[in-house]
Amino acid sequence: MKHGFIYICTACVLLSLWLSHYIPADVFDKILSPLLFACTVAVALFSAFLVFKHAEGMRMRKAWGGALLVWGIVDTFYILGWALAPSQVMDIGAQNLNTYELLLGNLLGWVLLLYPTEALRPGWLSFRHAMWHLLPMFALVALDYIIPFNLRFFISLYPFVLIGFLISHVRAYEAWCEENFSTLEDIDVRWLVHYLWMVVLVGANYIYICVAHHPSRGFTQLWFTIAMFAYSTEQILYRKDPWGMVRRREKAEEPEPEAVTDPAPSPENSELRQKLDRWMEQEKPYVNPAFQLADLGTVLPMNRTYLSQFIKAEYGCTFYQFVNRYRVAEAKRLKLEQPDLKMDELAARCGFSSRTVFSNVFTREEGLSPREWFKKCNPA
């Protein structure tokens, strides 16, 4: 199921909100809330330690580690304040939020968006750009004090504006990956969409408990935040840095050669296309899952930008689609020659990172699953 993760997260949050109605306010305030806040601090700070320890120079990991650290410190002070001056730990549902509480909620929401900002637009995140992100929110807070209208609802919605800004870059990131890599495992855009959806659920639940007028509504917010921190840390630690992979390769190799041809169709480009086709068929570089766009530089005298444009102009597709067409053709050839070849072995020998990826790509290219196609070709 393509959106199974999103459906499961949403269902869990809605079910938890329904169950929270049956939690007595005093039980939540005296037992569950302090326990969950303590767990949040422990998970946030321990996860930050792991991420910074294994940052390996990756800015997106550092961005996530910084977000965890900030959240852990804020919740630590919250617990200390509650211990020194006992009161309801989770009182934001008991009364209308004041402007300072809304400002804090917005800042924490903004902190959660540091990681996807760096992942989608590497190098863009800086102190100056961060301040530009926050300036509208501070302006709304100032106006809330100056004008007679209540702007607190608009203040609470501001993080969703930032999420919309990030979503607009999702497709550009996906296109860039397809233009440079033949395997998208651990760098595809699906995880970033999942992460942004978890942030949306956290923000939507925050708004709900602001108007629910019952402290136990915060139960869902706390446990879901803990789960999000733990799950996101595990995912981020195992994800690759595609931008870093390209940059490191460019530094390790000779300077990119100047393009010797215009990527627009021409007789010269036709010769280059024939040369590339022969190389792909004879050398079969696509059987290596780590095959990248830059590898074409060994046969075509073009830099990475022109290589991408050349593939689009001559083949009408991205590098990812170009390579997978060869992989699918190789899979069909091998299966016809060796009918007893298992799917896992077939996928590996053709350069696919997994059997699942092989099945998805094959189905998209042929309109039939691998089993359906092979059965059609070998009805016996």
Task: Average the pLDDT over 282-302 and give the result.
Answer: 87
Amino acid 43: pLDDT = 96
CA 48 from centroid of its chain's CA atoms: 18
DSSP for 81-146, please give it: HHHHS---TT-TTTSPPPHHHHHHHHHHHHHHTHHHHHHHSTTT--HHHHHHHHHHHHHHHHHHHH
What pLDDT is attached to residue 130?
79
| Residue 261: predicted pLDDT | 46
| Structural contact between residues 198 and 9, judged by C-beta atoms closer than 8 angstroms | yes
Query: Residue 239 CB: number of other CB atoms within 10 A?
Result: 18
Q: What is the pLDDT of residues 63-73, one digit of tens each?
A: 999 999 999 99
Q: Cα 217–20–150 angle (5° rounding)?
A: 20
Residues in the chain: 380
CA dihedral 150, 152, 153, 157 (to 10 degrees): 140
Q: How far is CA 331 from CA 107, 199, 264, 289, in A?
A: 51, 40, 32, 14
Q: Where are the alpha helices (DSSP H) in 168-238?
A: 170-180, 190-212, 218-237
Q: Where in the chain is the domain with CATH 1.20.1070?
A: 4-247
More reliable by pLDDT, 252 or 136? 136
Can you give the pLDDT at residue 256?
47
Secondary structure (3-state) at 338: coil
Residues 6+ apart with CB under 8 A from 111: 66, 67, 70, 71
AA letter at 183: T
For residue 85, pLDDT beyond 60: yes
As beta bridge partners, residue 292 has: 181
Mean pLDDT of 129-158: 75
pLDDT at 105: 75
Q: What is the pLDDT of residue 250?
A: 63
Residues in contact with 64: Cβ distance below 8 Å, sequence separation at least 6, in sequence order:
51, 114, 115, 232, 233, 236
Average per-residue pLDDT in the chain? 82
Within 13 Å, how many C-alpha atoms sit on residue 255's CB side? 2
pLDDT score of 249: 66
The single-letter code of the amino acid at 359 is: S
Most confident of 8-22, 106-120, 365-379: 8-22
CB 229 within 8 A of CB 270: no
The whole-angstrom separation of Cα 369 and Cα 343 is 12
Q: Which residues pair with 181 in a beta bridge?
A: 292
Span 161-168, average pLDDT: 83
Lowest mean pLDDT among 35-49, 149-163, 303-317, 366-380: 149-163
The pLDDT, as a whole number, for residue 158 is 76
Please tell me the predicted confidence (pLDDT) of residue 267.
Answer: 52
DSSP state at residue 353: S
CA dist 286 and 107 (Å) reads 46
Does residue 207 have a pLDDT over 90?
no
Question: What is the gyration radius of the CA atoms in the chain, in angstroms?
Answer: 26
Q: Which CATH architecture has domain 255-377?
A: Orthogonal Bundle (1.10)
Question: Torsions phi, psi of 68, nearest 5?
Answer: -65, -40
Quote the pLDDT of residue 306.
86
Cα separation, 362 vs 329, in Å, equals 9
CATH code assigned to 4-247: 1.20.1070
pLDDT at 361 over 80: yes
pLDDT value of residue 94: 41
In the chain, CATH 1.10.10.60 covers 255-377
* Secondary structure (3-state) at 292: strand
Residues 206-229 have a mean pLDDT of 83
C-alpha distances out from residue 213 to 175, 208, 243, Å:
45, 9, 46
Q: Which of 186, 179, 185 is nearest to 296 (CA)?
A: 179
Mean pLDDT for 140-155 is 72
Residue 363: helix, strand or coil by DSSP?
A: helix
Instruction: Determine the longest span between alpha carbons in the chain, in angstroms.
Output: 80
